[in-house]
Every structure is written in structure tokens, then in C-alpha cells.
Structure 1
Amino acid sequence: MIPIGPSRRNTWRVSADAAELMRPALQERRVDVAARPKRVAFDLARTAFIVIDMQNDFCHRDGWLASIGVDVEPARAPIAPLTALLPVLRGAGVPVVWVNWGSRPDRLNLSPALLHVYNGSGTGTGLGDALPATGSPVLQGGSWSAQVVDELAPDPRDIRVDKHRMSGFWDTPLDSILRNLRIETLLFAGVNLDQCVLHTLADANFAGFDTLLVEDCAATTNPRFCHDATILNIHQIFGFTLQSPDLAKAIAP
């Protein structure tokens, strides 16, 4: 019998005259960790780590947000804890998925309403427009603007998904990828917490995934009350929040 499937986690075994539809058993790997509003335990074997929008245009001092006067230092705050946590997750075999803005050069996957959000006057620098300092097109797939910041350069084993909405699930292969990996639990990180992180986390929860935010690995450039309201909503509606040192200790004590 020959294995056939999109990943080692999700394979049949087939021959010319038979097919075995039983997937490989995934040995449970229980992780018990301090969290809010209560302690949680989950199966690391069915968990993926989603990092959202840690890109030059949001986090680099020469990127798009900085060019329009936004203080990007809050968006850079997750870099240090992510640098420490990512090797622990990779070492434990947890898939790392980078979900980033990556619009088409012709902008045919962007609606007028979405373009208006980032260029309300029509005269500013919005999605796909060239940055004055670097000439890189804002959040265009394959550009410097859309790259993950150098400090967090993805590993070749990591998975990349381009999005062009606040949510990483709309019109992307993210859901299919996670289900082909037989994932049930999602850990979230990235920026902006109250925008793309929250909307992706909410859609994941609505789709039936268990959702947890790694709080110190997520941030927003918006006022503090936006952060606080997002954490409140996660606790009340979507799941749990935890801290990366507690997670790392639980995974690799």
C-alpha cells in the first residue's frame, strides 16, 4: 500500500485495488498552561501557531505605517517574545503559519470599500501605492513591504498564507491548510490585535477551531482601550489568553 495525502498527518494508503481511509493516529500531547480567564489544557499534536502581519509595512521604521505618522514601536513589541517562542514551537513540531497581507499587483482582489479604509481621501498612500521612501508598493505580495520583518525571518518549514482582508480566512486557503493538517487548536500572535488578529481569531472560532491568544506576542498601534476591549471580548466570547513564557515552559519544561 502506498501513502497518499497532502501531509503526513492526513494520508490514506492505496493500491490498484484497495484504499485504506484510516488516517495515521496522532498521539495526544497534553499541554497544561496558566491562562485567563481560567487554566487550559490542549493537545499540542493538533495545534498550530498563527502569526499575523508581522510585516515591514506594519513593524519596520521605514514601512508604510511609519511613513504616515504612526508610532510603530508598539507593533515591534511582539518581536522579542516571538523570537524566544518560535524555536520552542518548531522544536515541538507545531506548525507555524504566517498569515500576511499580500495583495495582487493589479489590486483586483481589493474592493473600493477596502481601498477607502486606507486611503480615505484618494490622494494618500494606500494599498498597492509606492512608499515615498522606498518605492515599495504597500502590502503587495512579493514586495519588501509585505515581507516579514528580518528579526522574525520564517523558517523554510513554516507555512505562508497571503490575505487581503482583515480576516485571514476570507478568500484564502487557510482553512483548507489547517484541516489538512488535522488541526483543532489555534494559538494567535501578531498585529494589529484589535483588527486583523481579532478578526482572524473570531472567524477561526466561528469555524469550530479552539482559539487562544498569546497575549505578549500580540499588539496594536491603536489606543490602549482597543487592546483592553479586545482582550475582554476574547475572554467573554472566543476563548483564552496566555503568556509566551508560560506556554514555552509548559511545552518544554
Structure 2
Amino acid sequence: MTDTALIVIDMLNTYEHEDADALVPSVHDALSAVQELLKRARNASVPVIYVNDNFGQWRSHHGELLEAALAGRHPELVEPIAPDEDSLFVLKARHSVFYETPLNYLLRQLGVQHLVRCGQVTEQCILYSALDAHIRHFDVSITPQAVAHIDPELADAALRMMETNMSTTLVPLDDLTFDQNP
């Protein structure tokens, strides 16, 4: 049993929002790293947990969100990282993956202490989720190549803040394994 989980944040996206045009190029850049993390986690039998905005659709479930994202403006950014049958899924309504979600309970039930994060948006949901993980005493690692941003300067500042103020470990993709905590 592992004490690590891969948390995939907000990657099921229709890209039909005001910041989408600024976000899409960064998602393109991060996509192969996210795919690689998914592959490594699955090969190591590490739980993969997708935590995604519900886009105000309170009756939706993960299958409907995936269908909407695949029918959105950039299905090529969704299809390669779509959840498999073993993936777990948590819906969120706000920026943090913990805010009013069952994620903390799920992680405790799985015996998870170390969170490897990937997804979008670095200066928003990734940052706020890192703070919430820190105050809940989780160890957090982020591969900078596997997170996407809207504003590159804010994203760089967010990564520095997570590392300095929230004890987040920034791990290059080539150095991240799921065999042991970095």
C-alpha cells in the first residue's frame, strides 16, 4: 500500500470561459507531463484522484463533465488525460480541492499522506489547494512541467510561494517517481 496519491486538478475543461485563450497554450505545454505522471502513478498502483470544478452543474457527475469537456473547444487537451475505470473523482465548486469536498476524508481513508499535484491553474486552484493541503499536514509535491497557467509571472510567483511558505516540494518530471516520496 502506498501513502501517495496523484491529484489531477481541473483538467476536464470545456475551455469556454474568459481566460481560456490565455490558458490553452500552457495546457498544451503541460499535457505530456500530466500524461507521464498518470502513466507512472497507474503503473505503481498509486490512487489517481481527479478533482474538478462542476461548472455550476450541481446535478452533474464525472461522466457528464467528461462528456462536456470532450465536446468542448479543445477535446485534444482532455482525451489524452481522461480518467480510466480505476480513477477516483471528487467534484468541487470553488478554487481549493479541499473546500467543502470529501477529499480530506477520502485521502485519510486511503492512508494517503503525500500528494503529487498536476493540472490547472497554477496561480489559482493549484496555489489555493497547496495552502489547504499544508494546513491539513499533507506533504505536497508539484512537477512544474505538469501545471498550466494563465499568467506566467503569477504562476512563477505561486510556485515560489508554495515552495517557500507551504513546504511544497518542486520536483522536475525526470526526478519524480512514485516508488518513494521525493
Fold-level match, TM-score > 0.5?
yes
2:13 maps to 1:56: yes
Q: Please say which structure displays the higher CA radius of gyration.
A: 1
| Matched residue, 2:64 | 142
What SS is found at the alignment partner of 1:48? strand
**Larger relative helix fraction:** 2
2:168 corresponds to 1:237: no
Return the alpha-carbon distance in structure 1 between the equivalents of residues 34 and 126 of structure 2: 15
Residue among 86, 92, 101 paired with 1:157:
86
Distance change (3 Å), C-alpha of 1:250 and 1:207: closer
Q: Retained in 1: the 8 A contact 2:23–2:149?
A: no
Equivalent position SS for 2:170: strand
Separation in 1, partners of 2:79, 2:153 = 30
Larger relative contact order, structure 1 or 2 (CA cutoff 8 Å, min sep 6): 2
- Is the CA contact (8 Å cut-off) linking 1:162 and 1:172 kept in structure 2? yes
Identity %: 29
- Mapped contact 2:19–2:150 kept (Cα < 8 A): no
Residue 83 of structure 1 corresponds to 35
Q: Residues 165-244 of structure 1 correspond to what in structure 2 (within 5 A)? A: 165-222=94-151, 224-239=152-167, 240-244=169-173
User: Would you say the 8 A contact 2:34–2:146 is kept in 1?
Assistant: yes
Contact 1:66 1:72 in 2 (8 A): no
Residues 103 and 141 in structure 1, CA contact (< 8 A), matched pair in contact too:
no
Gaps of 5+ in 2: 71-76
The SS at the match of 1:98 is strand
Q: Per-residue CA shift, 1:157-180, capped at 9, x if unaligned?
A: 111111000001111111110000
| Unmatched segments (≥5 aa) in structure 1 | 1-25, 27-44, 58-62, 108-136
| 2: CA distance, partners of 1:87 / 1:94 | 10
Query: Do the aligned partners of residues 235 and 104 (structure 1) sit closer, same or farther apart at CA in structure 2, a change above 3 Å counting?
Result: closer
Alpha-carbon RMSD? 2.7
Q: CA deviation at 1:146?
A: 4.8
How far is 1:82 from its partner?
1.6
TM-score (norm. length: structure 2):
0.82
Check the 8 A contact 1:216/1:243 in 2, yes or no.
yes
Following superposition, the deviation at residue 84 of structure 1 comes to 2.0
Counterpart of 1:72 in structure 2 is 24
**TM superposition shift of 1:212:** 1.3
Q: How many residues align?
A: 171
Which residue number in structure 2 is paired with residue 37 of structure 1?
none
